[in-house]
Structure 1
Amino acid sequence: MNVKISKNAGFCFGVKRAMKMAWNELENSEESIYALGPLIHNKQAVEKYEEKGLKTVDEVESVPESKNMIIRSHGVSESVYKSASDKNINIIDTTCPFVKKIHNIVNTYHNEGYQIIVIGDMNHPEVIGINGWCDNSAIIIKTPQQMDSIELDKSKKYCVVSQTTMNLDLHKQITDKLSKDLDTVVFNNTICSATKERQEAAKDLSREVDCMIVIGGKHSSNTQKLVNICKEIVPTFAIETKEELDGEELNKYKTIGVTAGASTPDWIIDDVIDFIDSI
């Protein structure tokens, strides 16, 4: 059995930065530290931080006044900063710089009278946060098919941004249609370069192997996109940890490819590789 690991697998720059910032705060602070939502979409990694003392909450109202609160790499709405300020909460802002750039674009164009369009999943925390920088007025499009039910006003000015982990092919399909349907539109391709490289590397590797293993959280958007890309080419196993792998099933394949989402720690990837080597 031969194992090939994707060139781009595991923590991206934004997640690595956020996790390091959060760990440093836990190491050096004597005060309680709260995280607004799971730090990343990987429950095994989050558990390690909670064992260290991190408290995960779902809303600012659950954080006591004057305490420390981490804003995760996905970013949040403008209103969250205001609510935290009202409670004198100290913010540890680990928002990915690439996501922060989208907030600035959206806020600027919204204030200039543009209708914002976000290409992404309306239920994803990153998109919820982006929408919060234009008074939650954005049109959110996840698939080309959705556009059939959306009425666009050609007399308006539009500004288009994208969730950083958006599938490249879907993004192109949507922007191609928007460019035909709208007269005045500013396109901002805000898909993270690491996302592009990760998706392209996964696609390339899938063509070289007999099956793929994609490691990452079940709620991780970028991980699920990798799963969808790989399974179009070869049999694909989507897992969070090595415990979900079946040694007998994997024995059917001569060459196995491995990739991982941006929220997957190296130690989980190493565990999977060790398990495959042990078969």
Structure 2
Amino acid sequence: MEVTIDKNSGYCFGVEYAIQMAEDEMRDSDKLYCLGDIVHNDMEVKRLSGKGLVVIDREQLKCLRNCKVLIRAHGEPPETYKTAIENNIELIDASCPVVLKLQHRVKTAFDKMEREKGQIVIYGKKGHAEVIGLTGQTLEKALVVMEEKDLESIDFTRPVTLFSQTTKSTKGFYELKEKIEERIKATKGSLTEVDFNANDSICRQVSNREPQLTQFSKVNDVVIFVAGKKSSNGKALYQVCKGINHRSYFVESEEDINVDWFYPEDKVGICGATSTPMWLMERVKEYILSKSGEYILTE
């Protein structure tokens, strides 16, 4: 059996940067607060908690004073920075540069839409950390949509400016864009730049993984996709693998692996999300190889 790990899988720059900042800070301190899970992977969160990383929510943040708090790669709304100033909290800001740039673009577009009585629409998951940071730039007025049924919240008689959560599917974004254009044409009879402005704000480090995983799924008999159940990016990328190779399996760790998935002569590919640590994929590989004597024998 041949087992390989996809060299393009694993942490994106933003996540890697945030984790490095956390570890650097904890070398000099036995405790560092983090606003939300630093990454959507329970295994990595558990590893870092053992080093002193304490996960808190926004309500707990309001009760803290005179301490350090890490802002993860997803970014935060303006309210978080205001609370930090009021409570003398030192923020270790590990917001991804791509997310920070998008927050600025959303804020600028929102100010324009306010003047023109328009709407900001964000293609993303409601309640996702990044989306909370983005809607915070719009005084919580932005409309968050994921599926066609969510478009009912949009007033198609008014101008619409569309953005995307950076980790969403490129295909999903352009499908939604097309549906919005159709709704505007049906409502107004025409479509102009004043009516609709679509901004593909998906991170290319993320979106480029779709074609890479498509190829990876073709050259392997079995695909083991490693990611946390909370990872939106993981769910989307797993579907890319599953769509190409029906012998694709989603696991959080080696404990989820079933030896009945494999034949001794299989080529097995291990890949993961932008929130999947390389050490975890390595561990999954070692586990699969250690169980080689238990795989189903071909007839």
Q: TM-score, normalised by structure 2?
A: 0.86
Aligned to 1:208: 219
Aligned to 2:72: 72
- Asked if residue 270 in structure 1 is aligned to residue 272 in structure 2, the reply is no
Aligned to 2:120: 116
Report if aligned partners of 1:163, 1:190 keep a CA contact under 8 Å in 2. Answer: yes
Which amino acid in the other structure matches residue 181 of structure 2?
A: S
- Asked if residue 231 in structure 1 is aligned to residue 242 in structure 2, the reply is yes
Selected match of 1:159 from 156, 161, 166: 161
Q: CA deviation at 1:55?
A: 1.3
Residue 191 of structure 1 aligns to a residue whose secondary structure is coil
Which amino acid in the other structure matches residue 152 of structure 1?
A: D
Tell me: CA distance 1:145–1:252, structure 2 relative to 1, closer, same or farther (3 Å): farther
Aligned to 1:56: 55
Q: CA deviation at 1:145?
A: 4.2
Which amino acid in the other structure matches residue 80 of structure 1?
A: T
Which amino acid in the other structure matches residue 157 of structure 1?
A: P
C-alpha deviations, 1:113-164, integer Å up to 9, x for none? 24211011112111122111111111111123432x234233x332211111
Tell me: CA distance 1:219–1:253, structure 2 relative to 1, closer, same or farther (3 Å): farther
Aligned to 2:143: 139
Question: Distance between the aligned counterparts of 2:207 and 2:2, measured in 1?
Answer: 26
Q: CA deviation at 1:192?
A: 0.8
Which amino acid in the other structure matches residue 11 of structure 2?
A: F
Aligned Cα root-mean-square deviation (Å): 1.9
> Unpaired segments of 5 or more residues in structure 1?
none
Which amino acid in the other structure matches residue 105 of structure 2?
A: I
Aligned to 2:187: none
Aligned to 1:84: 84
Question: Distance between the aligned counterparts of 1:199 and 1:137, measured in 2?
Answer: 32
Report if aligned partners of 2:222, 2:269 keep a CA contact under 8 Å in 1. Answer: yes
Question: Distance between the aligned counterparts of 2:175 and 2:32, measured in 1?
Answer: 42
Which amino acid in the other structure matches residue 170 of structure 1?
A: G
Selected match of 1:170 from 166, 169, 172: 172
Residue 81 of structure 1 aligns to a residue whose secondary structure is helix
Question: Distance between the aligned counterparts of 1:67 and 1:94, measured in 2?
Answer: 16
Report if aligned partners of 2:17, 2:94 keep a CA contact under 8 Å in 1. Answer: yes
Which structure's CA Rg is the greater one?
Answer: 2
Moved over 4 A (4+): none
Q: CA deviation at 1:253?
A: 6.8
Q: CA deviation at 1:4?
A: 4.0
Report if aligned partners of 2:5, 2:281 keep a CA contact under 8 Å in 1. Answer: no
Q: CA deviation at 1:20?
A: 0.5
Report if aligned partners of 2:156, 2:183 keep a CA contact under 8 Å in 1. Answer: no
Q: Percent identity among equivalent residues?
A: 30
Question: Distance between the aligned counterparts of 1:268 and 1:188, measured in 2?
Answer: 35
Question: Distance between the aligned counterparts of 1:60 and 1:67, measured in 2?
Answer: 15
> Unpaired segments of 5 or more residues in structure 2?
185-191, 293-299
Report if aligned partners of 2:228, 2:252 keep a CA contact under 8 Å in 1. Answer: yes
Q: CA deviation at 1:3?
A: 2.8
Question: Distance between the aligned counterparts of 1:217 and 1:20, measured in 2?
Answer: 20
Report if aligned partners of 2:143, 2:154 keep a CA contact under 8 Å in 1. Answer: no
